[in-house]
Structure 1
Amino acid sequence: MMNVGLEKKDVYEDFDPHDTYFFKIGAHGLVCFHGRNYSIKQRLSAEQTSKLVTDPSFYRISTNCYVNLPKIAEIRDNVVLFRDEVHGIKTIQVPRRNLEQIKRLLPVSGHRRTAGMDQVG
């Protein structure tokens, strides 16, 4: 009898910033990546950080925080939601002034919805 196990990806060994939902840049090149069920801190060089923040997949929502646009599942009021079928929903607050730009940058697809975007608050 042959046992076939499911291959699990080790996010720490095979880390890819494009798999994360958002990241925050700290002092001295320390970057904290937030994903489905993890937060990984890595020290990056100035060149690596520059390459990351200029990547079109990421959009700056505050001075030191960037969201991964392809990973956004929904926007409700001032909250961006990231969905994962196994781990559920992870959210992050987004300043209102950035919501319209994020909405324009999101790929158009049937599962992406924005709720409360047209409300004036």
Structure 2
Amino acid sequence: MNVALETRNSYENFVLESDIMYFRVGEHGLVSFHGKNFHIKKRMSTEQIIEITTGGAFFKVNTDCYVNTKKIVQIQEGKVFFEIKGADSKFISITKLRQHRLKDILQQHKTDAK
């Protein structure tokens, strides 16, 4: 009996809000997406970049980097952590001003969830 299971290749067909922790927008439309165990570079049009950067799921932490607010575990000492803090943790640096704004957004998400 042959059973073909549909498997999703996260490297090619990732879901932005659930698979990506953060992404960086580079020159000439090159966007670098970072997931838990992978990172992918894709060339995107200006319209596509505007669409993903203006949505509510991602927050701009510096000039070219956006973090997924649903994947944040902790914000501490100018860093946004996505996994358990330790040797293998993934994090992004953030300025103090944006850190306070992001904490307010996360607190609002918690309040809305109740």
TM-score by length of 1: 0.75
Residues matched between the structures, number? 103
Deviation string 1:93-121 (CA, Å, 9 cap, x unpaired) is 11111011100111228xxxxxxxxxxxx
Which protein has greater RCO, CA pairs closer than 8 Å, 6+ apart? 1
More strand by share: 1
Counterpart CA distance in 2 for 1:14 and 1:108 is 29
The percentage of aligned residue pairs carrying the same residue is 37
TM-superposed deviation, 1:8: 6.4
| Secondary structure of 2:13 counterpart | coil
| Counterpart residue number, 1:98 | 98
Counterpart CA distance in 1 for 2:89 and 2:7 is 20
Counterpart CA distance in 1 for 2:46 and 2:15 is 18
TM-superposed deviation, 1:9: 4.3
After TM superposition, the structure 1 = structure 2 runs for residues 29-48 of structure 1, keeping only pairs within 5 Å, are: 29-48=29-48
| Counterpart residue number, 2:11 | 12
Deviation string 1:20-70 (CA, Å, 9 cap, x unpaired) is 111100011000011101111000111100001101111111111111111
User: Does residue 26 of structure 1 match 2:35?
Assistant: no
Counterpart CA distance in 1 for 2:35 and 2:81 is 12
Deviation string 1:68-95 (CA, Å, 9 cap, x unpaired) is 11110111111111127xxx53111111
| Counterpart residue number, 2:66 | 66
Counterpart CA distance in 2 for 1:77 and 1:13 is 34
TM-superposed deviation, 1:10: 2.2
Which letter does structure 1 place at the counterpart of 2:9? Answer: D
